[in-house]
Amino acid sequence: MAFPVLKYADILPGTPGSVENEFLSCVEQITGHCGSDFKLIKLTVFLSSGSERAFASEKQLIGELVYNNYSECPAFSVVSQYPISPFKIGVEAVFISTGDKPTFKNYNHIPYVVTGTSDYKMVWGAGLAADNLLSVEEGAEVASRSMQNILAAEDLTFNDIIRQWNYIPQICYVERKEELLIQHYQSFNEVRHKYYQKFRSKNCFPAATGIGQSFGNFTLDFIAFQCKQNSSDLKVESPLQHNPYNYGQKVLVGETGQKKHAPEFERARVLLLSGEYWIFVSGTASIEGEVTTEIDSVERQTLSTIRNIESLVSPENLKSQYPSINYENANYTNLRAYVKFREDISVVEQIVKQKFRNVPLSIVQAEICRCDLLVEIEAELFGTLA
């Protein structure tokens, strides 16, 4: 048995129009990608809205359109991040071979997808968020409980989370909470620590992205992978960057009244199965050790970020950490780039596309987790073992 056969697509509408018309244009293209051999299992919709109220209304509309167009509803999230101008909508789609026989399920009106073999079980979840507008802390609590409930329904636990996306409203905003000043990102980090400490016993963390969104509630997407037989999963450390969970207090923003908990995620996670490996690269930025580098230059930050990713997933780095496993070069299968300023999108897009030719790339405007970071990139790769 091998990993599921997946393909990825970055989709933009054919022409600018209303939110509804742009999304339906994307649906038409998705149908073309599916054909008779693939099914849509995960959909991330990047939505440009002008206000909190507009985002709530447009998000609801997109949800209705997803349900109306897919009898087998994929896991999906609607994120308040701005796609390439002049569009209001951008879509990242994940497809799975019909031969992998995905099962489409629903928990408390949250669609999710399950696939697997005798060797493993995978769960794809997305769009976990509160219905009513809440604080970041409260929203992260609601989303984390929803993830826990979906995992429990599938006889999985927090130990099985391999990849997590955390969309945090106004991620760098610092607000007063009683007598303390606390950053939204740090509020989420405290909730994540609480749930990982209570429900996770593995000595490593998922690969993850913590990224800003303009409006809406904290929103969570995840992939869980349970090893059964002939499969395993490993963490990957960077030769150039510290483990995020070892960051010092100086780089964590705000006050919590006690020691602040650092971001708990691995630089990458790798799955091994039947002579293949699958790498999930966390959101990566221009950080050396734990210090931001190349400040004020989006071009240099993009190149630095790419160097960090390439050094992380190189066969040499993987071999240095797991000498008994012979890795060959892997192929990038999907990329997503977050750019702080809209005017920098074309610069980042040109550099990334020149470096990673013919790899699906979603690129959006979004606030990064540090005020001095201008770009963040995440990736997935598939490779074979020698």
Residue 167 reports pLDDT greater than 80: yes
| Beta strands in 48-173, from DSSP E residues, in sequence order | 75-79, 89-97, 103-107, 110-116, 120-128, 161-169
Mean pLDDT calculated for residue range 290-298: 96
What does the alpha-carbon distance between residue 296 and residue 162 come to, in Å, rounded to a whole number? 33
Grade residue 176 by pLDDT with cuts at 50, 70 and 90: confident
Query: What does the mean pLDDT of the chain come to?
Result: 95
Number of domains into which the chain is organized: 1
Cα(91)–Cα(8) distance, integer angstroms: 11
Whole-prediction pTM: 0.97
Q: Which helix (H) or strand (E) holds 47?
A: strand 38-47
Tell me the per-residue pLDDT of 42-100, one tens digit each, with 9 for 90 and over. Answer: 999 999 999 999 999 999 999 999 999 999 999 999 999 999 999 999 999 999 999 99
Give kind and range of the element (H or E) at residue 58: helix 52-69
Does the pLDDT of residue 150 top 80, yes or no? Answer: yes
End-to-end CA distance of the chain: 17
Whether the per-residue pLDDT at 289 is higher than 90: the answer is yes
Confidence (pLDDT) at 211: 98
64 in a domain, yes or no? yes
CA 37 from chain centre, in angstroms, equals: 25
Lowest average pLDDT, out of 188-192, 225-229, 241-245, 367-371, goes to 225-229
pLDDT (0 to 100) of residue 1: 64
Q: Return the SS3 of 346.
A: helix
Query: 176's torsion region: left (phi>0), alpha (psi -120 to 50) or beta?
Result: beta
* Beta carbons of 253 and 229 less than 8 angstroms apart: no
* Residue 1 counted as domain residue: no
| Beta bridge partner(s), residue 232 | 272
3 state SS of 23: helix
Q: Taken in order 375, 245, 138, 151, is the CA torsion positive or negative?
A: positive
**Quick check: is 286 in a domain?**
yes
pLDDT (tens digit per residue) in 113-123? 999 988 899 99
pLDDT tens, residue by residue, 328-355: 879 999 999 999 999 999 999 999 999 9
Residue at 35 is within a domain: yes
**DSSP-derived 3-state class of residue 359:** coil
Evaluate whether residue 160 is within a structural domain. yes
* Residue 273 β-bridge partners: 231, 276
Domain extent, residue 129, equals 6-384
pLDDT above 90 (res 326): no
Structure tokens at 232: 């395993």
| Joined tokens for residue 80 | 């308040």
Q: Which CATH number covers residue 319? A: 3.30.1330.40
* Residue 68 neighbours by CB distance under 10 Å: 11
Assess if residue 92 is contained within a domain. yes
What confidence tens digit (pLDDT) does each residue in 223-279 have?
Answer: 999 988 777 899 999 999 999 999 999 989 877 667 899 999 999 999 999 889 999
Averaged pLDDT, 277-301: 97
Q: Hey, which residues does 40 pair with through a beta bridge? A: 95
Beta bridge partners of 268: 236, 281
Cα distances from 130 to residues 52, 139, 143, 218, 248, in angstroms, run 15, 6, 7, 8, 32
Share of the chain above pLDDT 70, in %: 99
Determine whether 286 is exposed, middle or buried from the number of CB atoms within 10 Å of its CB (0-12, 13-18, 19+): buried
Query: What is the distance between the alpha carbons of residues 241 and 350, in angstroms, rounded to a whole number?
Result: 25
For tokens 């400490």, what's the residue? Answer: 197
3-state secondary structure of 89: strand
